[in-house]
């Protein structure tokens, strides 16, 4: 069951800004070096400040970054494919790139509202708005990290419940009868209290006014 | 293979299609469909540690299927034609995504959680947010899964090449084209699952180009003096009507502000259920006509009764519509909306009834469709930002009945904001003959074991 945020473990999301002036190739080199460092935490996302480069240049940067990454990835085929398809593949042959986020301020979008965003997305980036209070990129990164950590805390608590591992084992088990346990969960057993509440809400023309 | 779920989606030996060609689907439905397809594939022995799964399309369904499959120990290959996952949503800052939004009025809807009796471990975060935020959260989840499961291979700018071949070993041989070159590898997979998206939303008409459905648009920040025309009778048009009239992104938020009695929800659910039973066995929109007409009339009459019986509703609707543009028209070709989510249908008809009764504003135009759109002062050049806010003359065609071609032309109108929501051009089939035996035209139940 999904846990409330307050009781969930905080999920650490790692996000960095693309260094000012870095080319797509330089950024890929930096990310590869980061990935090869066994002690470093996985980098979830990198953020490109579109205002710094101008939107046309940002679109080009995003396309070049992703195309260059895909070219490098394709150069490893078919070894990585064959490895991945083994029952117990080696995890060392692949690097997972961070998600590319582009930060653009509404004023920068100007009269082309929506169109640059579509181009940036087609290039392979997620586009975020940079409100004026987030002028400093570091503020944006912190805010984004908090936002994602909250989303993930729910998700991670669910995933860490141990059920996933149990389910993995069922792959090797013969298929049996459908599990009826989910249908017997307490949610189907309406308590007297809940039943009264249901009746009350059904009679009351305006449940919001009763604070229900 | 006797599994009814898999048989319903079978399009080729060992090849199943749960993609956007199915309708209706919601985000929740896509995820559950993908989750179920993988579990059933394992139960049927189609996929397993030595029988890989190929998933085509890295959207909500494809990523769910791929992560679920990898989590259960199946070597999995996820391919996507674009440069990354979830890119349809990645550039949109204004549209709201909530996987359970349209499960209304089922109990879990208000809590914003998936039914608690569903097995845990849904692979993507089950959160509601703006589309670009959701895109990022999902992309991070997919990347984390790639780190966790080394047997999950993801390849972007990669497409299926040709028709898969069934091998004597009961494996499916597929060939992929990646980044412009054919992989020198024929993949033998136990099962292939197409999760290719719905296709392209029709947002243009003739020379006129409106904002795409998944683009950042200014519809919630229109001026009170604007004149707005929305063309279309499906969920896209209805969503935009709600956003423009109220300035709010989420139908759920609008509904919760109204305080509709629970007994009304139950009556609406019953009416929607009766209509959905008709959809299941019909094959085309024209077969839905009678059911949709009755459903539309029922919602309309209920809205009128509600407004007459509960004065507080009118007060709340007044607050919600305080800042709406001067003229808003939603036009659709029949006497009823298309097949759409019950919540959208109900809210639009309630708002329209309120505006008609209290302000004399006729915001719904039934039985007409766009004929010509012509820019005044400027020339339309297939750019939404050029046309948005500029005056246009609009000509209409009259539809006496949605089952017959349009008839006479109606008098022209003028508008500065025109929104075209004319459905979806379906994605082309992956290869010839990609049609399931029977497409189930219904949402999945919340849990199918």
Q: What is the per-residue DSSP string for A98-165?
A: PEEEEEE-HHHHGGGTTHHHHHHHHHT-EEEE--GGG-SHHHHHHHHHHHHHHHHHHHHHHHTTSHHH
What is the pLDDT confidence band of residue B186, given thresholds at 50, 70 and 90?
confident
Angle at CA of residue A24, ends A20 and A26, nearest 5°: 75
A81 within some domain:
yes
What mean pLDDT is predicted for residues B295-307? 91
Predicted pLDDT at A123: 94
Taking domain B4-198, whether its CATH number is 3.50.50.60 is answered by yes
**Could you give the 3-state DSSP secondary structure of residue A189?**
coil
For residue B43, pLDDT over 50 is answered with: yes
Instruction: Report the alpha-carbon distance of residue B58 to residue B77 in Å, rounded.
Output: 11
| B449 → chain A, closest CA residue | A178
pLDDT at B323 over 60: yes
- Residue A7: what pLDDT? 35
| pLDDT value of position A212 | 36
Which residues of chain B are within 8 Å of residue A210 when distances are taken between CB atoms?
Answer: none
**Mean pLDDT to the nearest integer, B128-152:** 92
Q: Which residues of A1-10 are buried (b: 16+ CB within 10 A; e: fewer)?
A: ebbeeeebee
Residues forming a β-bridge with B413? B394
**Range scoring the smallest mean pLDDT among B22-36, B132-146, B242-256, B333-347:** B22-36
Over chain B, what is the mean pLDDT?
87
- Asked if the model's pLDDT at residue B89 lies above 90, the reply is yes
pLDDT at A104 over 70: yes
Tokens encoding B421: 């929501």
Give B300's contacts (C-beta < 8 A, 6+ positions apart): B349, B353
Supply the pLDDT for residue B16. 94
Mean pLDDT of A153-169: 54
Q: For the CA atoms of chain B, what is the radius of gyration?
A: 23
On the question of pLDDT at A211 being above 90, the answer is no
Give yes or no for residue A84 having a pLDDT over 90: no
B197 interaction partners in chain A (CB closer than 8 Å): none
Query: Does the pLDDT value for residue B82 go beyond 60?
Result: yes
CA gap B174, B390 in Å, rounded:
50
Helix (H) or strand (E) run with residue A25 in it: helix A24-36
Among the partner residues A88, A168, A201, nearest to B71 by beta-carbon distance? A168
Q: Which residues of A touch B447 (CB under 8 A)?
A: 182-183
Q: For the sheet containing B191-194, what is the strand order? A: B10-12, B15-17, B191-194, B53-56, B76-80, B152-156
Instruction: Identify which has the larger pLDDT, A211 or A52.
Output: A52
Regarding predicted confidence, which is higher, B45 or A6?
B45
What distance in Å separates residue B404's CA from the closest CA in chain A? 37
Spell out which residues of chain B touch residue A175, defining contact as CB-CB under 8 Å: 42-45
Nearest CA in chain A to B73: A168
* Percentage of residues in chain A having pLDDT higher than 70: 56
C-beta of residue A202 within 8 angstroms of C-beta of residue B262: yes
pLDDT score recorded for residue A58 = 93
Mean pLDDT across B97-121: 72
Question: How close, in Å, is residue B364 to chain A by CA atoms?
Answer: 27
Instruction: Decide if pLDDT at A153 tops 60.
Output: yes
Whether A17 is covered by a domain: the verdict is yes
Residue extents of the structural domains in chain B: 4-198, 202-425
Q: Is B255 on the interface with A (CB under 8 A)?
A: no
pLDDT over 90 at B447, yes or no = no
Regarding predicted confidence, which is higher, B217 or B185?
A: B217
Q: What ipTM, to 2 d.p.?
A: 0.87
Say which range, A178-192, B250-264, B275-289, has the weakest mean pLDDT: A178-192
Q: If pLDDT is split at 50, 70 and 90, which confidence band does B110 have?
A: confident
pLDDT of residue A28: 93
Q: pLDDT band for position B386 (50/70/90)?
A: confident
In a domain, A72, yes or no: yes
Q: What is the mean pLDDT of residues B231-260?
A: 95
Residue A146 included in any domain: yes
**Which one has a higher pLDDT value, A173 or A90?**
A90
Residue A6's pLDDT is 35
What does the pLDDT read at residue B233? 94
**Does residue B10 register a pLDDT over 80?**
yes
For the ranges A26-35, B156-165, B308-317, B410-419, the one whose mean pLDDT is highest: B308-317
Examine the pLDDT at B166 and tell me if it is beyond 60. Answer: yes
On whether any CB of chain A is under 8 Å from the CB of B310, the answer is: yes
Q: How many CB atoms lie within 10 A of CB A147?
A: 15
Say if residue A183's pLDDT is above 50: no
Section B366-395 average pLDDT: 86
Residue B32 backbone phi and psi in degrees, to 5: -65, -40
pLDDT of residue B77: 94
Tens digit of each residue's pLDDT (9 = 90 or more) over B195-243 = 998 788 899 898 888 899 999 998 988 989 999 999 999 999 999 999 9
**DSSP secondary structure string, B33-94?**
HHHHHHHHHHHTTSSBTTB-EEEE--SHHHHHHHHHHHHTT--EEEEESSSSTTHHHHT-SS
What pLDDT is attached to residue B352?
Answer: 98
Q: Which of B94-108, B356-370, B433-447 has the lowest mean pLDDT?
A: B433-447
Looking at every residue in chain A, the average pLDDT score rounds to 70
Q: What gap in Å lies between CA B130 and CA A131, rounded to an integer?
A: 15
Amino acid A113: pLDDT: 53
Instruction: Specify the pLDDT at position A155.
Output: 65
Nearest neighbour of B262 by CB, restricted to A44, A151, A201? A201
d(CA B212, CA A20): 32
For residue A91, the enclosing domain spans 5-162
Mean pLDDT of B340-358: 96
For chain B, what percent of residues have pLDDT higher than 70?
Answer: 94
- Structural domains of chain A, count: 1
Q: Minimum mean pLDDT among A70-79, B125-134, B301-310, B421-430: which range?
A: A70-79
Does the structure show a pLDDT above 60 at A176? no
A125 touches chain B (CB under 8 A): yes
Residue A190 contacts B where some CB pair is shorter than 8 Å: no
Which residues in chain B touch residue A88, judged by CB atoms under 8 angstroms apart? 151
pLDDT tens per residue across span B387-400: 888 899 999 888 87
pLDDT at A101 (0 to 100)? 92
Collect all residues of chain B within an 8 Å Cβ-Cβ radius of residue A170: 42, 72
What does the pLDDT average to over B327-349?
94
Contact A131/B at CB under 8 A? no
């Amino acid at each position: 069951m999904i846990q409330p945020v307050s009781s969930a473990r905080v999920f650490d999301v790692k996000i960095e800004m693309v260094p000012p002036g870095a080319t797509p190739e330089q950024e890929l080199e930096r990310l590869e070096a980061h990935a090869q460092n066994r002690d470093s935490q996985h980098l979830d996302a990198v953020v490109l400040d579109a205002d710094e480069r101008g939107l046309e240049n940002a679109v080009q940067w995003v396309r070049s970054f992703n195309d260059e990454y895909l070219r490098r990835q394709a150069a490893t085929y078919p070894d990585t494919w064959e490895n991945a398809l083994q029952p117990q593949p080696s995890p060392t042959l692949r690097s997972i790139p961070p998600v590319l986020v582009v930060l653009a301020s509404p004023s920068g979008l100007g009269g082309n509202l929506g169109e640059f965003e579509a181009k940036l997305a087609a290039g392979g980036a997620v586009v975020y708005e940079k409100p004026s209070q987030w002028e400093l990129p570091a503020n944006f990164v912190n805010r984004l990290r908090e936002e994602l950590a909250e989303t993930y805390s729910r998700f991670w608590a669910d995933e860490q419940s141990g059920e996933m591992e149990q389910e993995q084992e069922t792959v090797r088990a013969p298929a049996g009868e459908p599990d009826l346990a989910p249908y017997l969960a307490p949610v189907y057993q309406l308590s007297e209290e809940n039943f009264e509440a249901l009746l009350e809400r059904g009679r009351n023309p305006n449940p919001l006014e009763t604070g229900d | 293979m006797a599994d009814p779920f898999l048989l319903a989606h079978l399009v080729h030996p060992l090849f199943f299609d749960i993609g956007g060609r199915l309708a209706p689907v919601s985000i929740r439905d896509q995820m559950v469909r993908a989750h179920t397809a993988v579990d059933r594939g394992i139960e049927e022995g189609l996929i397993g540690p030595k029988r890989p799964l190929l998933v085509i399309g890295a959207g909500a369904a494809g990523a769910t299927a791929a992560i679920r499959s990898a989590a259960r120990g199946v070597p999995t290959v996820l391919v996507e034609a674009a440069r990354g996952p979830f890119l349809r949503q990645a550039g949109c800052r204004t549209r709201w995504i909530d996987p359970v939004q349209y499960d209304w009025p089922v109990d879990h809807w208000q809590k914003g959680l998936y039914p608690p009796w569903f097995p845990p471990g849904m692979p993507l975060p089950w959160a509601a947010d703006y589309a670009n935020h959701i895109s990022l959260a999902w992309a991070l989840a997919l990347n984390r899964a790639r780190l966790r499961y080394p047997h999950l291979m993801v390849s972007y700018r990669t497409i299926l090449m040709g028709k898969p071949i069934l091998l004597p070993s009961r494996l499916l041989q597929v060939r992929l084209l990646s980044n412009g070159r054919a992989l020198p590898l024929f993949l033998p997979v136990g099962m292939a699952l197409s999760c290719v998206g719905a296709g392209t939303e029709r947002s243009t008409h003739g020379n006129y180009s409106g904002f795409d459905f998944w683009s950042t648009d200014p519809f919630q920040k229109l001026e009170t003096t604007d004149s707005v025309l929305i063309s279309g009778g499906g969920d896209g048009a209805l969503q935009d009507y709600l956003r423009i009239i109220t300035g709010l992104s989420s139908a759920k938020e609008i509904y919760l502000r109204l305080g509709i009695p629970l007994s009304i929800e139950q009556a609406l659910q019953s009416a929607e259920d009766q209509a959905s039973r008709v959809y299941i066995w019909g094959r085309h929109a024209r077969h839905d006509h009678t059911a949709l007409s009755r459903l539309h009339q029922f919602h309309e009459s209920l809205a009128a009764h509600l407004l007459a019986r509960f004065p507080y509703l009118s007060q709340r609707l007044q607050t919600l519509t305080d800042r709406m543009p001067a003229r808003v028209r939603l036009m659709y070709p029949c006497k009823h909306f298309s097949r759409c989510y019950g919540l959208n249908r109900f809210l639009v008809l309630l708002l329209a009834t309120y505006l008609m009764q209290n302000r004399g504003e006729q915001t719904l135009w039934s039985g007409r469709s766009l004929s010509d759109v012509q820019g005044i002062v400027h020339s339309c050049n297939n750019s939404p930002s050029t046309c948005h806010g500029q005056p246009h003359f609009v000509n209409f065609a009259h539809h006496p009945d949605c089952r017959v071609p349009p008839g006479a032309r109606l008098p022209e109108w003028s508008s500065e904001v025109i929104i075209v929501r004319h459905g979806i051009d379906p994605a082309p089939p992956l290869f010839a003959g990609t049609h399931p035996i029977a497409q189930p035209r219904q949402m999945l139940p919340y849990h199918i074991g």
